């Protein structure tokens, strides 16, 4: 569901909108779900940091160009927020697994998780028909090294997240990984030619400020 929702968001809005929104709201969902299920509540200062993230998310939403069509934009932002909920969900599940009395080995846990991801995506792509499979084959022929690099870096990055989840509150981990928000905005601006206006920069700055606050408070 995470991948399906994320790429649906990319289909409707810019990378520099979809990524900050999905990653920005994830710590908020993680705060609520982690508190209810794992009893990992945070204090007032952390709540202020979360509120800062929410204001940043609102600023990003204000930056979207209305010329693209209200329905299309709204749907893309809805997909992005739903993606954030999925991120929080799997973080909470993984945090619970990594803190069990007889916790699984991190590598084995990650391997089994990615096996199920591959099976789900394979079924999803199969149902989409030959057109999708042909485009995937074409992408492999054009950029095999890029595909391989992503295939290696993605599980490696999440392995580091699993290690962090063995030691830290799920809200802090979910927030701390969002340094990618800055990178996604820069990639959207510099490589994809997206228009990044003042509200979007302000939103990204506020999201990062809230994340930095959560990380700082979590370390003290």
Q: What is the pLDDT of residue 123?
A: 82
> Domain spans of the chain?
2-103+170-218, 104-165
Q: What is the pLDDT of residue 220?
A: 62
pTM greater than 0.75: no
Q: What is the pLDDT of residue 196?
A: 74
Measured CA to CA, the distance from residue 18 to residue 127 in angstroms comes to 25
Report CA-CA distances (Å) from 193 to 15, 33, 65, 85, 185. Answer: 11, 37, 14, 28, 11
Angle, CA of 150, 153 and 157, to the nearest 5°: 135
Q: What is the pLDDT of residue 124?
A: 76
Q: What is the pLDDT of residue 71?
A: 54
Report CA-CA distances (Å) from 165 to 43, 82, 103, 159. Answer: 19, 22, 12, 10
Q: What is the pLDDT of residue 83?
A: 92
Consecutive sets of 10 residues in the chain, 220 residues long: mean pLDDT of each?
85 79 81 77 79 80 57 78 89 81 79 84 76 79 88 84 76 70 78 77 85 74
């Amino acid at each position: 569901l995470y991948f399906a929702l994320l790429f649906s968001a990319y289909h409707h809005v810019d990378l520099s909108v979809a990524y900050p929104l999905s990653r920005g709201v994830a710590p908020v969902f993680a705060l609520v779900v982690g508190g209810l299920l794992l009893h990992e509540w945070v204090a007032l200062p952390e709540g202020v940091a979360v509120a800062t993230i929410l204001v940043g998310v609102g600023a990003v939403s204000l930056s979207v160009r209305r010329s693209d069509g209200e329905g299309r934009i709204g749907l893309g932002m809805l997909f992005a927020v739903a993606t954030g909920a999925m991120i929080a969900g799997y973080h909470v599940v993984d945090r619970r697994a990594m803190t069990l009395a007889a916790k699984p080995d991190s590598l084995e846990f990650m391997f089994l998780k990615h096996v199920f991801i591959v099976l789900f995506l394979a079924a999803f792509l199969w149902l989409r028909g030959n057109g999708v499979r042909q485009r995937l084959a074409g992408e492999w022929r054009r950029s095999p090294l890029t595909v391989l690099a992503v295939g290696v870096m993605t599980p490696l990055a999440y392995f580091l997240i699993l290690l962090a989840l063995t030691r830290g509150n799920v809200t802090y981990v979910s927030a701390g990984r969002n340094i990618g928000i800055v990178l996604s905005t820069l990639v959207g601006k510099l490589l994809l030619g997206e228009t990044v206006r003042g509200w979007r920069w302000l939103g990204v700055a506020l999201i990062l400020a809230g994340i930095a606050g959560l990380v700082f408070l979590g370390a003290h």
